[in-house]
Amino acid sequence: MKSFIKYPKYSDFPIENLPYGVFSIESDTVPKIGVAIGDLILNLNEISHLFQGPQLKKKQYVFKESSLNAFMGLGQPAWKEARETIQKLLSENEPLLRDNAQLREKAFVPQSKATMHLPAKIGDYTDFYSSIHHATNVGVMFRDKNNALMPNWKYLPVGYHGRASSVVISGTPIYRPHGQTLAIEGAPPVFGPCKLMDFELEMAFFVGTPNNLGEPISISNAHKHIFGFVIMNDWSARDIQKWEYVPLGPFTAKNLGTTISPWVVTTLALEPFICENFPQDPEPFPYLKHSDKFNFDINLQVDITPKDSNVSTTVCRSNFKYLYWTVKQQLVHHTITGCNVNPGDLMGSGTISGDASDSFGSLLELSWKGTKPISLNDGTQRKFLQDGDTVTMRAFCEGDDYNIGFGVCAGQLLPAKKLAF
């Protein structure tokens, strides 16, 4: 497959990818839906009239919106048709766009000139806890090393309902939060800025098609509801978390900002990178069981760049495929009670840690609760994040002739704001 748009061989955004995002430019601040190709954006608002297939001919308005929710809600046949249409329009043998200089002028925007926005209005956000290595590590550090995994963990995908309001787009600064912590075990808690700020390397999927309240999504239909994926940093205040989480789970330690990457890579684009599911023992309940492969080989990487430094250090290399529970199982379990999900809902995977100690997806694990500081290339060390640190996450699938990239999910940690009270 070749496009008339030129890009390097291993660009994040070849014609095989075509991720969706929402962007604006200086001369038109109304956000528009676009597709990344090389280092350009194809503005779908300008070419919505070219979607003439049976699914989209009467639904072209979805490409005129300022968020992807309506398009996400159309379902798989429409997503497929849109992908085929865009792929054809961009292919080297298709003259329609290639040879129409006027339309091309309107339809393409350099990514360097665009401001990216959240791809969807996120009504609800849930975060799972599906990496067995991460859950085991946290269990050892926070609780009991002999019973690190809770008895429920291998029976259901554990998760918590998160906070949609504080999900932000890559590039948004994050302030070190204030909160209560237990500085000295056994003494009363203290109040002040978080001392143990951390990142969590995650991916998240956007829900496409909704279900009705009272009608659980079945495992055989689950794939039809999963639109696509982004990289996610679930910034975590570990000292606040440790004191507050009993018995209801994460609360303010994780509502200070959750960063996502701007380009939604569709499940359709990820199909060539499907790999074996993680082995599950005990066998899941029938409502969660599926034999088809629905795991993805996606390389993940986390870099830390200290304040005012141009020296970055890769502190973690992991892979999406280390997740124990598949995203289909997460979605099915989420709705088994009849809970309804909506287009644009965001479902975090949980921190993705591998087995090896350099594949752990958080500083809590990488520095083993601060007992093993990690060395950065600028000569400094980290147990947890310092003010001014920028955390950059990357994700990409490696094909023979092309990569499917996710772009970056980045954010800088700023010092705690002075409280006015």
Ligand X SMILES: O=C(O)/C=C/C(=O)CC(=O)CC(=O)O
Backbone angles phi, psi at 406, to 5 degrees: -110, 5
**Is 251 within 8 Å of 244 (Cβ atoms)?**
yes
Site for Ca ion (CB under 5 A): which residue of 46, 65, 124, 127? 127
Torsion, CA 268, CA 81, CA 209, CA 159, rounded to 10: 10
Distance (Å, rounded) from C-alpha 96 to C-alpha 323? 43
Q: Which stretch binds Mg ion (CB under 5 A): 36-44, 107-115, 254-262, 389-397?
A: 254-262
Nearest to 318 by CA among 131, 75, 40: 131
Distance (Å, rounded) from C-alpha 385 to C-alpha 407? 23
142 binds, among Mg ion, ligand X, Ca ion, none (CB under 5 to 8 A by kind): ligand X
Q: Residue 236, interface with Mg ion (CB under 5 A)? A: no
Active site residue 133: no
Instruction: For residue 234, say whether it is annotated as part of any ligand binding site.
Output: yes
**Is 213 within 8 Å of 339 (Cβ atoms)?**
yes
Label residue 141 exposed, middle or buried (CB < 10 Å: 0-12, 13-18, 19+). Answer: middle
Torsion, CA 86, CA 91, CA 96, CA 100, rounded to 10: 110
Instruction: For residue 242, say whether it is annotated as part of any ligand binding site.
Output: no
Joined tokens for residue 162: 């998160």
CA distances from 295 to 169, 209, 272, 278, 363 (A): 25, 20, 11, 8, 25
Q: Which stretch binds Mg ion (CB under 5 A): 115-123, 255-263, 270-278, 331-339?
A: 255-263
Distance (Å, rounded) from C-alpha 175 to C-alpha 168? 13
Instruction: For residue 7, say whether it is annotated as part of any ligand binding site.
Output: no
CB of 391 to ligand X, least distance (A): 15
Joined tokens for residue 376: 């950065």
Q: Which stretch binds ligand X (CB under 6 A): 104-112, 126-134, 173-181, 255-263?
A: 126-134
**Is 323 within 8 Å of 163 (Cβ atoms)?**
no
Site for ligand X (CB under 6 A): which residue of 157, 262, 350, 405? 350
CB of 165 to Mg ion, least distance (A): 8
Point out which residues pair with 161 in neighbouring strands: 126
245 binds, among ligand X, Ca ion, Mg ion, none (CB under 5 to 8 A by kind): ligand X
Joined tokens for residue 222: 């689950």
Distance (Å, rounded) from C-alpha 372 to C-alpha 273? 35
Number of residues that bind ligand X (CB under 6 A): 13
Give residues 199-228 in contact with Ca ion (rule: CB under 5 A): 200
Site mask, ligand X, residues 296-335, x = CB under 6 A?
----------------------------------------
Q: Residue 138, interface with ligand X (CB under 6 A)? A: yes
Q: Which stretch binds ligand X (CB under 6 A): 7-15, 65-73, 134-142, 177-185?
A: 134-142
Site for ligand X (CB under 6 A): which residue of 245, 251, 278, 368? 245
Q: Which stretch binds Mg ion (CB under 5 A): 130-138, 222-230, 256-264, 288-296?
A: 256-264
CB of 343 to Mg ion, least distance (A): 20
Instruction: For residue 245, say whether it is annotated as part of any ligand binding site.
Output: yes
CA distances from 71 to 15, 81, 347, 413 (A): 20, 12, 18, 34
Q: Cβ closer to Mg ion: 163 or 328? A: 163
Distance (Å, rounded) from C-alpha 244 to C-alpha 252? 8
Instruction: For residue 371, say whether it is annotated as part of any ligand binding site.
Output: no
Site for Ca ion (CB under 5 A): which residue of 46, 65, 124, 234? 234
Give one DSSP letter per residue of 33-99, joined into a string: EEEEETTEEEEHHHHGGG--STTTTT-GGGGGSSSSHHHHHH-HHHHHHHHHHHHHHHBTT-HHHHT
CB of 239 to ligand X, least distance (A): 13
Tell me which of 134, 178, 333, 334 is the catalytic residue: 134
Q: Residue 177, interface with ligand X (CB under 6 A)? A: no
Give residues 36-75 in contact with Mg ion (rule: CB under 5 A): none
CA torsion through residues 367, 373, 376, 381, sign: positive
- Catalytic residue annotation: 134
Binding site for ligand X (CB under 6 A): 127, 129, 134, 138, 142, 200, 202, 234, 245, 250, 254, 350-351
Binding site for Mg ion (CB under 5 A): 163, 166, 255, 258
Which amino acids are annotated as binding site for Mg(2+), given as ranges? 234, 254, 258
Which amino acids are annotated as binding site for Ca(2+), given as ranges? 127, 200, 202, 234
Binding site for Ca ion (CB under 5 A): 127, 200, 234
Which amino acids are annotated as binding site, given as ranges? 127, 129, 143, 200, 202, 234, 241, 245, 254, 258, 351
